[in-house]
Chain A
Amino acid sequence: MSLAIRRTKDHAVKVVSTAFAGIALFLLAWILFTLVMKGLPALGLNVFTKITLPPGHEGGLLNAIVGSLIQIGIAMVIGTPIGLLAGTFLAENGKTTKVGHIARFVNDILLSAPSILVGLFVYAFLVNPFGGFSGWAGAVALAILVIPVIVRTTEDMLNLVPIGLREAAYALGAPQWKVVMMVTWRAARAGIMTGVLLSIARAAGETAPLLFTSLGNNSWSTDLSAPMASLPIAIYQYAGSPFDDWVALAWAGALLITVSVLLLNIVSRLFLARAG
């Protein structure tokens, strides 16, 4: 092949690749543009002050927002310690053990497993045997989605902590719990926080696992043993409805959720960049 042809080919591939990157950026911009155009007009004060009402009445999303916050909060309270300790196990005690290898493999599977199956599992495990849909069940389903994210980032971040730091602490006669809590975790603090923030972002947008667990609720309820509203479920119900004002509310909720999730992602990345 002559040099001219090879150069032209190289050039063509570069142009196409750049165009592909442009397409990806365009798609992100298109999605955000759609959300702003359709969501912003409907995003009034009502959204934050009124609960979901029948079509025709000016309703809001207050109960859904509060329900989401409660369920995510509980999911984080359950998921963070388990994920942190399991991630620490993989990086410290279980690093080269058989249990460690299998747990790492299992965690990678859980990380990408279909989230709807987590919902189905919690339905079969908690909802069906214990008398119905509940906020608790929704929180547990979200916790199961949050755990693998925290495990993975915690392990990765602890692996970056120099061995010498641990050895220095051990040499002073510190027991393992002190070495881990006061030296290793502290050194990897920013990275671990990033994992926690990313897992909140994941939990905030999940719809499928809540369908059969907390179900959704169109009235005001903070009772965790009853069905509980959540933003993604409200969006799902409203987006599929034939009423214009409900569809508009769905877009407002969609804008709200996407902006929060993207901000959480960007903040956690900045956090890590500044610390690292």
Chain B
Amino acid sequence: MDATMAGLPGSGVQPGHIGDAKPVGRIADTVFVSLLWGCGIFVLVLLGLIIAMLFEGGLPAFRAFGLEFLWTATWNPVTEQFGALVMIYGTIFSAIIAVIVALPLSFGIAFFLTEIAPQVLRRPIGVAVQLLAAVPSIIYGMWGFFIISPLMAAYVQPPLIDWLGPVPVIGALFTGPALGGGMLTAGLIMAVMILPFITAMFVETLESVPPMLKESAYGVGGTTFEVYKNVSVPYGKTAMVGAVMLGLGRALGETMAVTFVIGNATRLSASLFAPGATIASTIANEFPEAAQGSLKLDSLLALGFILFVISFIVLALSRFLVRSNLKS
């Protein structure tokens, strides 16, 4: 082949420059292709290793407490009684608050970015919203602890306790002292953190709606909002549910921002204002006090395994929904 190339007049192809001598080229190619496969498989192995190590590390705790570990509300390092219920509850509850707050905001911002904003402003505003996702988690923690918590304690929690506290049933959510932190504050801060992720995927989905569909709806006299609500959103519904699940998945594993504001109390409380704990905050907070080989350390690793399983299910579901919408 080299000979033919060299013979092409004026082709500019130097012999041996692109097509190497066969044996060397073939060996190099074998090495290169194996490297590609190796790194691809490495990613698989990495996830497998993470799951395996967390499970193995938590095994002594699962052995000691059995499956009851999942629904035991005690977390007592003194008596070495450990259970995950308080943290599982806190993780899921605070993440759901975050999603409930972030969802309407994301719907609105995505509507603004795809339908209302002037073309020149779409990109800069979109990037600014995305920058909220780039701010490190620990910064949200400091902002939450030094700025938001005092505001919550002074202006938000006391009126809510006064007005809604005495209401039957839901009143339980709004009791206790106004300390500033707690489940609601953690949820609000996480809402700001997951908002850019949900919004970005909403915008991406909405932009993939065929213009013809929207134009037909406008053609029969629909307003901008009606077209958004009745055409664009239903078209991308599956992917949008997937986007919300991604936000939920992110919130479930959020660590530093939550650790600063949630109060880190391993007690079960229905109140939105009472100090609580999530799996991630408990691991971050209690790890330094856990001696090597102690049952506490094993229990923290077991908590990590549980968090991994919960996140995995939510993230896998999210991906499945987003992909199935793209295919259809």
Contact = CB atoms under 8 A, between A and B. Distances in A.
- A pairs with B: yes
Interface of A: 6-7, 9-10, 13-14, 16-21, 23-25, 27-28, 30-31, 34-35, 38, 81-83, 85-86, 88-90, 92-94, 99-100, 102-103, 105-110, 112-118, 120-121, 124-125, 128, 144, 147-148, 151, 169, 172-178, 180, 201, 204-208, 211-212, 232, 235-236, 239-240, 250-251, 254, 257-258, 261-262, 265-266, 269
Contact of A21 (B33, B49, B117, B319): B117
A175 B109 contact: no
B177 interface: no
B108 A20 contact: yes
Contact of A117 (B2, B42, B117, B253): B253
B254 A114 contact: yes
Interface stretch (B51-59, B152-160, B268-276): B51-59
Contacts of A13: 111, 225
Interface of B: 1-2, 5, 13, 18-20, 25-26, 28-29, 31-33, 35-44, 46-47, 49-50, 53-54, 56-57, 104-105, 107-109, 111-113, 116-117, 125, 127-132, 134-143, 145-147, 192, 195, 199, 223-226, 246, 249-250, 252-256, 260, 280, 283-284, 287-288, 292, 300-301, 304, 307-308, 311-312, 315-316, 319
B40 A18 contact: no
A23 B105 contact: yes
A251 to B, nearest CB: 7
Contacts of A239: 138, 141-142, 145-146, 260
Nearest to A21: B112
Contacts of A88: 36
A86 B29 CA distance: 16
Interface of B is mostly: helix
Given A21-B125, A86-B40, A172-B13, A114 B142 contact: no
Contacts of A106: 43-44, 46-47
Given A175-B28, A207-B137, A108 B315 contact: yes
14 contacts: A7-B223, A20-B104, A20-B108, A31-B140, A92-B36, A108-B315, A109-B319, A117-B311, A118-B50, A128-B292, A176-B33, A201-B134, A211-B287, A236-B141
Nearest to B285: A211
Nearest to A93: B36
B142 A174 contact: no
A262 B135 contact: yes
B49 A125 contact: yes
Given A10-B223, A34-B147, A208 B284 contact: yes
Given A25-B125, A207-B136, A262-B131, A103 B36 contact: no
A204 B139 CA distance: 12
Which of A19, A92, A208 has the largest count of B CB atoms less than 10 A from its CB?
A208
B36 A114 contact: no
Given A208-B255, A232-B138, A103 B249 contact: no
B44 to A, nearest CB: 5
A23 B132 CA distance: 12
A114 B308 contact: yes
Main secondary structure on A side of the interface with B:
helix
Question: Of residues A14, A21, A108, A151, which shows the largest number of chain B Cβ atoms within 10 Å of its Cβ?
Answer: A21
A28 B140 CA distance: 11
Contacts of B105: 20, 23-24
Given A172-B5, A173-B18, A17 B301 contact: no
B313 to A, nearest CB: 10
Nearest to B1: A173
Contact of A112 (B25, B145, B249): B249
Contacts of B50: 113, 117-118, 121
B220 to A, nearest CB: 13
Contacts of A206: 136-137
A86 B39 contact: yes
A175 B25 contact: yes
A117 B308 contact: yes
Contact of B5 (A23, A128, A173): A173
Nearest to A180: B32
A124 B147 contact: no
Contacts of A172: 5, 13, 18-19
Contacts of B128: 24-25, 28
A251 B142 contact: yes
A115 B255 contact: yes
Nearest to A182: B18
B255 A112 contact: no
Contact of A110 (B1, B32, B47, B56): B47
